[in-house]
Amino acid sequence: MTIGAGGSRPEISEIVAGLTGVSIVAIGGAIALVRLGLEPVTLGIILSALSGIGGMAGFFAAFLLRLRSWAAFGIRATSWRWILIGAGAGVLAFVAKGAAILAYVALTGDERTPQDVYATGASGGTWTMIATTFFLSIVTPIGEEFLFRGVVTTALLRYGGVIGVVGGAVIFAIFHGINMVFPAALVTGLAAGEVFRRSGSIWPAVMVHVMVNLPTIPVMLLAKAAA
């Protein structure tokens, strides 16, 4: 299925607007929040929501720039078959990202991750674990996929499938920083981008992201308890 066509497809201007929007809201917002000196659990919960909120802010910055068409960004209905394919691809991506992280650490010795704060946010009790899991496995996939696949990948697909999928995944990974999360984000971006390209809809890509992120908090808490 073709995502956008001719003048109806997002362009570099939409990429710039989207990435500027997410940088201001997600990155700038995170820096400002850290400086407020909030209680650690509260900070962790807010930051777990911020990536999704920032992604949506970036998406709407691109959406309102010129096209203002949902379909132009791949936001259209899809079949249950593609949703299930997205879920399966997400499970495979979750396994693959673990291997990618191990390879990254073995090659670089870099074990830094900015995501420990999410585990802190989830450690305040049952409700904080539920809230953090919701933000990371629902809000974040929607916000980030709308931006990085709906805007970035769609715009880059005009240069071919490889550039669209790989380019979108690389940009997505870079926005997670050069640390342990980078290879995980790259694997997730590649899986989500290919499912998006083939289905022509953002929702299978969102499902990939949901399946990758859903175990994040339980895995982090188990690792923290075992440490």
CA separation, residue 166 to residues 155, 187, 194, 196 (Å):
12, 10, 9, 12
pTM of the model: 0.94
CA separation, residue 207 to residues 51, 77, 128, 129, 138 (Å):
17, 13, 23, 21, 9
Report how far residue 69's alpha carbon sits from residue 170's, in angstroms, rounded to the nearest whole number: 25
DSSP, collapsed to helix, strand or coil, labels residue 98 as: helix
207-220 tens-digit pLDDT? 999 999 999 998 88
Percent of residues, the chain, with pLDDT higher than 70? 96
84-139 tens-digit pLDDT? 999 999 999 999 999 999 999 999 999 988 888 999 999 999 999 999 999 999 99
Contact assessment for residue 120 and residue 44, using Cβ atoms and an 8 Å cutoff: yes
Which residues, 6+ apart, have CB-to-CB distance to 76 below 8 Å?
Answer: 70, 200, 201, 202
